[in-house]
Structure 1
Amino acid sequence: MSCLSNCMSVLRFFANHRRFSANLTVFTIKHSQLFHNVNNSIASSLSGRTLTASATSLRSWNMTFAYPEARRDDTVVDDYHGTKIIDPYRWLEDPDSEETKAFIEAQNKITRPFIDSCPVKSQINDRLTELWDYPKYSCPFRRGNRYFFFKNTGLQNQNVLYVQEKLEGEARVFLDPNSLSEDGTVALSGSRFTEDGNTFAYGLSASGSDWITIHIKDVATGKDYPEVLKKVKFASMSWTKDNKGLFYSRYPEQSGKTDGSETEVNRDQKLCYHRLDTPQESDVIVVDFPDEPLWRIGAEVSDCGRYLIVTPVKDCRDNLLFFADLSKHPEISGKLPLTQIVHKFEADYEYITNEGSVCIFRTNKNAPNYRLVKIDLNNPDEQNWETLIPEHPKDVLDWASAVDHDKLVIHYVRDVKSVLQLHSMGNGELLEQFPLDVGSVVGFSGKKEQTEIFYHFMSFLTPGIIYHVDLKSKPYKPTVFREVKVKGFDPSQYEAKQIFYSSKDGTQVPMFIVSKKGLALDGNNPALVYGYGGFNINVQPSFSVTRIVFMQHFNGVLAVPNIRGGGEYGERWHNAGRLLNKQNVFDDFQAAAEYLHREGYSRPELTTAQGGSNGGLLVAACINQRPDLYGAAIVQVGVLDMLRFQKFTIGHAWVSDYGSSDNETQFNYLLKYSPLHNIKSSDNGRAPYPATLVLTADHDDRVVPLHSLKYVATLQHAAAADHWPPLLARVDTKAGHGGGKPTAKIIEEHTDILSFMTQALGLTFVK
């Protein structure tokens, strides 16, 4: 989610998270929707009155449950600064070995019968499928003389890109990814139109991998140009303003497999220039940093077309800032000479727009809640920077976009809720604040040369409303362009509220609680506590079918605590939960569960902890530290080996949040909470682990499956004498970290999660 470039999405890599820049075409864009696919669903309610049987006899599983035996090799020992650490399941780091494949097969063979025996699994699946089947839309966006938008009729595996000549005109299919694979596992991943709207570059990913191939389409004819750009990952894409060439970043020297099932470190990214209608072999490298093989290179052609803004990043925060004057190099035949503006990795810099040589950037330099600054490329020294929009004392300036020639749309996050404003580009003056309910702006479209904008609003109980604003006339009044309706869903039956609770150190942490209205607070309701807590990510309200099914059919309570480590309160909140402050994240999440139990929303044996990626680390660490707080845990694509994560694919980028075992102080801290290294046997007086479902996928090249495999092997070994509660793994195929996952797979995964919870906690399905 980045206005600077697609590559800047890697700054908050876990979410594959993009800002809704006018230059990007996306369908849903908030990190919590794109990364956490387990929650990227549409809520609903139903009117029913019968009760079905709850879970099968759980004690029968207690008599028969047995885990596969996994070979332990205690001779594998690493020396970290004098501390010896045994890694007995190191062999599981090889995804291609027959032994690893056999281990995965054995795990699925015990997991599937447990989930499939849930007596209400088919009802859960039917209801999820029924509620998912409604049309979903993105904001329309204009490119050249045409409008485009994404639509999913309901159960299509991938969203379809439509085109229409006029906003009120008839739409036709422009690009349907569903036609590219029978099972829907080929997905659109990043795209960019030329300035005139006549040419379309688009990335395709397969099986959920971060690797993409870039294809180029003639908009008028719908035909693709012959070239295909390969070995592309974490790519920025930006066309020159003459519409003849594309800047994009790639890994030309990546050896071995590049299909998402490999574990090799991603290194030596180059920024390349591709001329339209020429083979990739003719592309030239325009920017590289051979002395810094782990840097990733973002680039953006300025709105005026004269400058190429280059933004190298090495971790998941902070970037350097360079520019090249393209007017001096019209042929772009080789390396571009760069002028460096920012020389230290100490803040974020995000290009918004420019007037002549004066560029506007969003930055947190000396502004933890972010501000907008003007930098004159003819005189770029920091002492000459001018603040256009100062840092707000409380609200976080989340993104900005230039519109209507001389205006800026600015999105703030205020106590985890969206605030959308229109400002003057000249002096920063506030011109308008658009009315919003409590919720999130999850989509936006508008460009500097256009006089209209669209924005997409969503909340826990609002499936989506797309607003249109005509900036040619005052007052700037939003009108509803399209409102999403879900058949049978009545939001008046539910309530969503925000409370603040005290964490272990007294910090006040916000939390959303969503449930049926009038639910008795007697401690007998199942609760689902979802958390993330990292990488400056905001977890704002979003609409979810799965969550509503949980609330409606299980009388469940949804709790979303906005724990430290995230970006809900700017860089201060982020810093309070990273590096040697990471324990605050776990304390905040545990305190959220304690609040729910203390206030009667639920009790420990009915509480499920859920999180994905960095959130998977969160959940796994919390059930190590406080297993007594939870009856079940859902650990999705988690970072679980905190001593070796930096050795695989893009893991080295996470050092900015976690630190590294290569540093002795950070190693000692990581060892204290690393989920893999803090699993204890349940015969040592500790409370037994809650029922745990660990989910991963064979093409996850973001958080490679070895984390989950080594973790579940260790967990099962520690509990070998205790056959209950279940500690299981679900390893999906032709799937990755979450992005691009087809609807059929998402529904299947959510069905399994709810079925697991039903089985493990003995829940009753209310029909």
Structure 2
Amino acid sequence: MRTAIALLVVGCSAPVTAPAPAAGPRPVEAPAPAAQPPPPPPPPVHARPSYPHARTGDVTDTFHGTAVADPYRWLEDMGSPEVGQWVRDENALTDSYLGALPGREALQRRIAELVSYEAFRAPTRRGPRYFWVHGDGKHNQPTVWTAAALDAAPSLVLDPNAISTDGSLAFAGLSIGHSGKRLAYGLSIGGGDWQTWRLRDVATTRDLPDELAHIKYYRPELTRDATGVYYSRFPPPPPGKELTETDHDCKIYFHKVGTPAGRDTVVYERPDHPTWQFEPIVTRDDRYLVIITGDGQVGDRGVELVSYLDLQRPGSKPVALIDQYDAEYRFLGNDGPVFYFVTTLGAANKRVIAIDIRRPARERWQEVIAEGPNAIQGASLVGHQLIITTLQDAHHAVAAYDLHGKKLRDVELPGIGSAPGFGGGPDDKETFYTFAGFTMPGAVYRYDLATGTSTPWKSPQVAFDPSSFETTQVFFPGKDGTKVPMFITAKKGLPHDGGNPTILTAYGFGGISSTPRFDAARVAWLERGGVYALVNIRGGGEYGEAWHLAARREHRQVAYDDFLAAGDWLVANKITSPPHLGATGASGGGMLVAGALMQRPDLFGAVLPHAGVHDLLRFQLFGQGAGWQGDLGTIENPAEFAALRATSPLHNVRAGTHYPAVLLTTADHDVRVAPLHSYKLAAALQAAQAGAAPILLRVETASGHGGGTTRTQAIDQQSERYAFFAAQLGLKLE
């Protein structure tokens, strides 16, 4: 499913000021909170909406002797006229309701102002030139630029705004040949996962006639002379099945530039395993094609196979290097025939190993960097150094090592936050990274590999005062007593009166870690007195594989327990109260908050699940879903079925329940999590709702799994969501 501010210094909380290494969350005892005045009255109650009719069908499945009704199965037929009309009626209801919310236009204007800033992504060097992606804060999509030096006048290489003036074709990715002579770029309809890639000559900025279609997830790789491309491709989905067709029969192809794509040759396939997928990587010395294999999307199950093809030996076949699904293997790069990987093999917090492909037997594998007390989140091989990013209580720390594992230095970061980047080639003298925090916009730094010094390259200027806010990290006990970390961001001087409108979010799935990041639209919520809380629940990777496995498969309830305990902590410590507490999450996080809603509707005043997986008994039948079974489990296993049944949002809706306000959001081009999940849950909740709080469904158009890809879409969608929370949780927008 691969894709937080006046802070309180209260019990179990610590202002975030400097890194403090820790093997895991540290318990901090809190004094009893002082007596507080009673919270303000709850937000006003709205009249019950009149919902579009959703008929119920007589469909029942039986699992391990348990009969399970599925009355809204008909909503899975998303291309039918009946479902289409129902979706239009739902969107019309949502338009009517949200359009009448007070202060929405003012909020939208402020969000538009906040997001209208110039932003740069970290540059990369290819051949004699630098390349980077740039957003001017005015146009819908970012552009690609190049220059001979960082301080030289840049030239425009690619402008997606000129290719798609209405933004219907979204810029989906970039792959630059190692020589810097040509690049490949992806476009997708409405930001969906299905992509078509084109080739462009850098010197002339003109497209070549070549087009590579039916690509998902994995970017193509150009050969050094840019006369060929290796790429992963899926069979085209049958007409009408673009959103639900399961991922299958992935193959790696070689395309010779200037020839029809229909003549492309298959480099690697496994017809005996149709669910396997392949990520191609051309090494920076252009000697090898490394093939990373996963059952489902590479990375989803956390275990991979590795093969390689020697590109200097014409006619050679891929060689299996790692042929067991026994651990995660993330390829970092090579030093000649020595391949470097980050792996969980024998290391819950991960370690770095080296494999000499001339002597590939496992007993010959060398440990380069041993497992440490903090989990490795990122790693790269650049300039004959290994740059390792670890997680210290859910924020980044970075260190540099030589290729033998000797530590060279810690990389000094500007503060507490996230520092992605550090890419490059084995002979580079420099690398780049971006540093961001909850109220720190992403600034790009140049890192000198010889001296270890970081210097700012580009620092965005956003129209707000970061000094007005602060972030506190607290540690609270989960249901089983485990200490769980949470970041809380708010205006300085936050009152402890239980009346602060608060948005709680988490992910906690697939071993993916949630670290501090900047969101300009969120500032509009914070500066009006709202609170933002990010909790690092189990199921994520913040404390390594043990943290991940603690909420996996039959233990999935642990993630919900952690999330609900975070909400209880916020209430007990008078940060907020249930009428003022909202919850939101996307993808796996959307599944999380919807499930939490079913278990504790009394804890929340509003819930917004975005692109969530809500039918946990049929998720494996659609799109990318089968790959998530590694974390969610399977209905074939009785114990895992029981856990899926107990936590499935759709199957735990209870008629006659007073649910808080709910805004379910999905997108018409979401191939990753089919919109049918949100359709079925919306219909079930609307039928079950005993109270007057609205249950709304928003089906975003021309959008994919992550929402709209253009600036205009982002402003509209963000203002809609924050206006919904403001109205339900009692935040004044005007």
SS across alignment from 2:513: coil
Residue aligning to 1:486: 462
- Counterpart among 520, 529, 553 of residue 545 in structure 1: 520
- Counterpart among 357, 360, 378 of residue 399 in structure 1: 378
Contact map agreement 2:117 2:462 (CA 8 A) in 1: yes
Contact map agreement 2:617 2:648 (CA 8 A) in 1: yes
Which whole-Å CA distance do the structure 1 matches of 2:94 and 2:345 have between them? 49
Which whole-Å CA distance do the structure 2 matches of 1:128 and 1:281 have between them? 46
Residue aligning to 1:574: 548
- Counterpart among 137, 141, 159 of residue 176 in structure 1: 159
Report deviation, 1:307: 2.3
Report deviation, 1:761: 3.1
Which whole-Å CA distance do the structure 2 matches of 1:496 and 1:467 have between them? 23
- Relative to structure 1, the CA distance from residue 112 to residue 324 in structure 2 (aligned partners, 3 Å threshold; closer, same or farther) is same
Contact map agreement 1:694 1:730 (CA 8 A) in 2: yes
Residue aligning to 2:32: none
- Counterpart among 407, 412, 420 of residue 390 in structure 2: 412
Which whole-Å CA distance do the structure 2 matches of 1:495 and 1:349 have between them? 38
- Structure 1 residue 470 corresponds to structure 2 residue 433: no
Which whole-Å CA distance do the structure 1 matches of 2:405 and 2:62 have between them? 58
Which whole-Å CA distance do the structure 2 matches of 1:547 and 1:324 have between them? 46
Greater CA drift, 437-446 or 690-699: 437-446
Which whole-Å CA distance do the structure 1 matches of 2:533 and 2:409 have between them? 36
- Counterpart among 57, 61, 66 of residue 73 in structure 1: 57
Which whole-Å CA distance do the structure 1 matches of 2:243 and 2:456 have between them? 46
- Relative to structure 1, the CA distance from residue 175 to residue 257 in structure 2 (aligned partners, 3 Å threshold; closer, same or farther) is farther
Q: Which residue type is aligned with residue 716 of structure 2?
A: E
Q: Which residue type is aligned with residue 209 of structure 2?
A: P
Residue aligning to 1:124: 107
Q: Which residue type is aligned with residue 710 of structure 2?
A: P
Q: Describe the superposition over 1:550-587 as per-residue Cα deviations: whole angstroms up to 9, x where unpaired.
A: 1111x111110000001111111111111111101000
- Structure 1 residue 103 corresponds to structure 2 residue 83: no
Greater CA drift, 491-500 or 420-429: 420-429
Contact map agreement 1:301 1:308 (CA 8 A) in 2: yes
Q: Describe the superposition over 1:676-709 as per-residue Cα deviations: whole angstroms up to 9, x where unpaired.
A: 00000235xxxx1111000011111110000000
- Structure 1 residue 367 corresponds to structure 2 residue 347: yes
Contact map agreement 2:399 2:407 (CA 8 A) in 1: no
Contact map agreement 1:358 1:376 (CA 8 A) in 2: yes
Q: Considering only aligned residues, what root-mean-square deviation do their CA atoms show, in Å? A: 1.9
Residue aligning to 2:16: none
Which whole-Å CA distance do the structure 2 matches of 1:452 and 1:364 have between them? 28
Contact map agreement 1:155 1:744 (CA 8 A) in 2: no
Residue aligning to 2:668: 698
- Counterpart among 709, 723, 732 of residue 741 in structure 1: 709
Residue aligning to 2:563: 589
Report deviation, 1:723: 5.1
Residue aligning to 1:49: none
SS across alignment from 1:466: strand
Residue aligning to 2:285: 304
Q: Which residue type is aligned with residue 347 of structure 2?
A: A
Q: Describe the superposition over 1:503-557 as per-residue Cα deviations: whole angstroms up to 9, x where unpaired.
A: 000010010011111111111111110111101111110112232211111x111
Q: Which residue type is aligned with residue 665 of structure 2?
A: L
Contact map agreement 2:610 2:666 (CA 8 A) in 1: yes
Which whole-Å CA distance do the structure 2 matches of 1:176 and 1:341 have between them? 40
- Structure 1 residue 376 corresponds to structure 2 residue 376: no
Match runs of 1:548-559 below 5 Å: 548-553=523-528, 555-559=529-533
Contact map agreement 1:178 1:186 (CA 8 A) in 2: no
Greater CA drift, 695-704 or 429-438: 429-438
Report deviation, 1:739: 6.2
Greater CA drift, 749-758 or 640-649: 749-758
Q: Which residue type is aligned with residue 410 of structure 1?
A: I
Match runs of 1:590-739 below 5 Å: 590-682=564-656, 688-719=658-689, 722=690, 724-738=692-706
Which whole-Å CA distance do the structure 2 matches of 1:471 and 1:430 have between them? 10
Match runs of 1:517-536 below 5 Å: 517-536=492-511
Q: Describe the superposition over 1:271-330 as per-residue Cα deviations: whole angstroms up to 9, x where unpaired.
A: 10111121101110010000110110112222333322211100412111122222222x
Report deviation, 1:432: 4.2
Which whole-Å CA distance do the structure 2 matches of 1:754 and 1:304 have between them? 48
Residue aligning to 2:21: none
Which whole-Å CA distance do the structure 1 matches of 2:703 and 2:413 have between them? 39
Which whole-Å CA distance do the structure 1 matches of 2:204 and 2:707 have between them? 29
Q: Which residue type is aligned with residue 682 of structure 2?
A: V
Which whole-Å CA distance do the structure 1 matches of 2:424 and 2:250 have between them? 31
Match runs of 1:211-360 below 5 Å: 211-252=194-235, 254-257=237-240, 261-315=242-296, 316=300, 317-329=302-314, 337-360=317-340
SS across alignment from 1:68: coil
Report deviation, 1:417: 1.0
Q: Describe the superposition over 1:13-42 as per-residue Cα deviations: whole angstroms up to 9, x where unpaired.
A: 332xxxxxxxxxxxxxxxxxxxxxxxxxxx
SS across alignment from 2:312: helix
Report deviation, 1:253: 5.5
Q: Which residue type is aligned with residue 604 of structure 2?
A: Y
Which whole-Å CA distance do the structure 1 matches of 2:377 and 2:429 have between them? 22
Q: Describe the superposition over 1:361-384 as per-residue Cα deviations: whole angstroms up to 9, x where unpaired.
A: 111111111111010111111111
Greater CA drift, 192-201 or 446-455: 446-455
Q: Which residue type is aligned with residue 478 of structure 1?
A: S
Contact map agreement 2:702 2:708 (CA 8 A) in 1: no
Q: Which residue type is aligned with residue 453 of structure 2?
A: K
SS across alignment from 1:346: coil
Greater CA drift, 555-564 or 752-761: 752-761
Provide structure 1 residue ranges, at least 5 long, that are not aligned to the other structure. 1-12, 16-53
Residue aligning to 2:2: 14
Residue aligning to 2:12: none
- Structure 1 residue 430 corresponds to structure 2 residue 411: no
Contact map agreement 1:14 1:613 (CA 8 A) in 2: no
Which whole-Å CA distance do the structure 2 matches of 1:188 and 1:449 have between them? 30
Which whole-Å CA distance do the structure 1 matches of 2:154 and 2:338 have between them? 39
Q: Which residue type is aligned with residue 379 of structure 1?
A: R
SS across alignment from 2:692: coil
Contact map agreement 1:188 1:740 (CA 8 A) in 2: no
Residue aligning to 2:490: 515
Which whole-Å CA distance do the structure 1 matches of 2:379 and 2:507 have between them? 24
Report deviation, 1:759: 2.6
Contact map agreement 2:332 2:342 (CA 8 A) in 1: yes
- Counterpart among 23, 47, 65 of residue 82 in structure 1: 65
Contact map agreement 2:43 2:729 (CA 8 A) in 1: no
Report deviation, 1:481: 1.6
SS across alignment from 1:441: coil
Q: Describe the superposition over 1:331-362 as per-residue Cα deviations: whole angstroms up to 9, x where unpaired.
A: x6xxx523222222121112212222211111
Which whole-Å CA distance do the structure 2 matches of 1:524 and 1:252 have between them? 53
Residue aligning to 1:461: 439
Q: Which residue type is aligned with residue 156 of structure 2?
A: V
TM-score (norm 1): 0.88
Contact map agreement 1:416 1:539 (CA 8 A) in 2: yes
Residue aligning to 2:122: 139
Which whole-Å CA distance do the structure 2 matches of 1:288 and 1:442 have between them? 32
Provide structure 2 residue ranges, at least 5 long, that are not aligned to the other structure. 4-39
Residue aligning to 2:7: none
Contact map agreement 1:424 1:431 (CA 8 A) in 2: no
Q: Which residue type is aligned with residue 265 of structure 2?
A: V
Q: Which residue type is aligned with residue 400 of structure 2?
A: L
Residue aligning to 2:471: 496
Residue aligning to 1:26: none
SS across alignment from 1:440: coil
Report deviation, 1:613: 0.8
Contact map agreement 1:397 1:410 (CA 8 A) in 2: yes
Residue aligning to 2:25: none
Report deviation, 1:57: 9.6
Which whole-Å CA distance do the structure 2 matches of 1:208 and 1:392 have between them? 39
